[in-house]
Amino acid sequence: MKIVDKIIEVASNEVGYLEKRTNASLDSKTGNAGSNNYTKYWRDTYPPYQGSAWCACFVTWVLDKVVGKEATTKLLGHYPFVYCPTLGSIGKSTNRLHTYLDTQAGDIVLFHNGSVFCHTGIVVSNKDGVITTIEGNTSGGNTVVANGGGVARKTYSHSYILHSKTGTRFYRPDYALYEEDDDMTTEQIKAIAKEATEDIINAIGRDIAALQGRLNKAEELLTKRNEQIWDLSCRIDALEADTDEK
């Protein structure tokens, strides 16, 4: 499974999660629901910010779950991602910001309110003039809700983005850095397996040859030692015979 697919899967599993009234029942999707911004996402990502707006924290949490903190830091250019304008600045300086026309699954949407980037989420798809996202700290519907109460799957038309959210951009992490190569053909896999097998056989052959060399050397030493013992034995016999004659 591709990294983007895993990210969308993890995010999708969080749809329906409601923020909490207090710092209790954080792992429950709907328990202790309230409007005080307490979430498991802050607890797991950056506890000092517990109780703060958490849309960006949700994105960080999802990536953490898929690739880990170190990779998330590289993919987003910093850690933790908690403030939309920061990612916007990073995206601009690294040429990773895209428009609604070419956004794609796995991009990080940065909604613009006319002044600053104000809300974020994960793009699920961009098809037939409709962009689907999964966002934290929002609510349902097809308009941006930058301070809602849970995780929701949202849809926006291109027209809405163009006319109501001008300036909205989509940050594209370089997932290729951590992508698993699961598109190899059977022949490629067989070739890799064959090469690995040959390497193992060659290594074993070298080990056997080295061991045989040691055995041959040991046999030579043993033969030489036996010859020495035989020579010594002959000398002793000769001395004993000479002593008897005297």
C-alpha to C-alpha distance for 214 and 211, rounded to whole angstroms = 5
Q: What pLDDT sits at residue 30?
A: 97
Q: What pLDDT sits at residue 63?
A: 98
Average pLDDT on 118-130 reads 98
| Confidence at 149, pLDDT banded by 50, 70, 90 | very high
pLDDT-wise least confident of 64-73, 119-128, 192-201: 192-201
Higher pLDDT, 220 or 132: 132
Q: What pLDDT sits at residue 136?
A: 98
Q: What pLDDT sits at residue 245?
A: 63
Query: Which pair of tokens denotes residue 159?
Result: 């027209």
| Confidence at 203, pLDDT banded by 50, 70, 90 | confident
- Beta strands of the chain (E only): which ranges? 97-98, 108-112, 117-127, 130-138, 150-157, 169-171
Give per-residue burial for 104-120: e unless 16+ CB within 10 Å, then b: ebbbbbbbbbeeebbbb
Q: What pLDDT sits at residue 246?
A: 59
Average pLDDT on 228-244 reads 74
Average model confidence (pLDDT) for the chain? Answer: 90
Q: Is the pLDDT of residue 52 over 90?
A: yes
Average pLDDT on 34-62 reads 97
Q: What pLDDT sits at residue 38?
A: 98
Q: Is 126 helix (H, G, I), strand (E, B) or coil?
A: strand
| Confidence at 210, pLDDT banded by 50, 70, 90 | confident
Closest CA relative to residue 56, chosen from 36, 76, 74:
76
Q: 63-121 pLDDT, tens per residue?
A: 999 999 999 999 999 999 999 999 999 999 999 999 999 999 999 999 999 999 999 99
Q: What pLDDT sits at residue 189?
A: 61
| Confidence at 239, pLDDT banded by 50, 70, 90 | confident
Q: Is the pLDDT of residue 237 over 60?
A: yes
Q: Are 106 and 7 in contact (CB under 8 A)?
A: yes
Q: 150-192 pLDDT, tens per residue?
A: 999 999 999 999 998 999 999 999 999 888 655 555 565 666 6
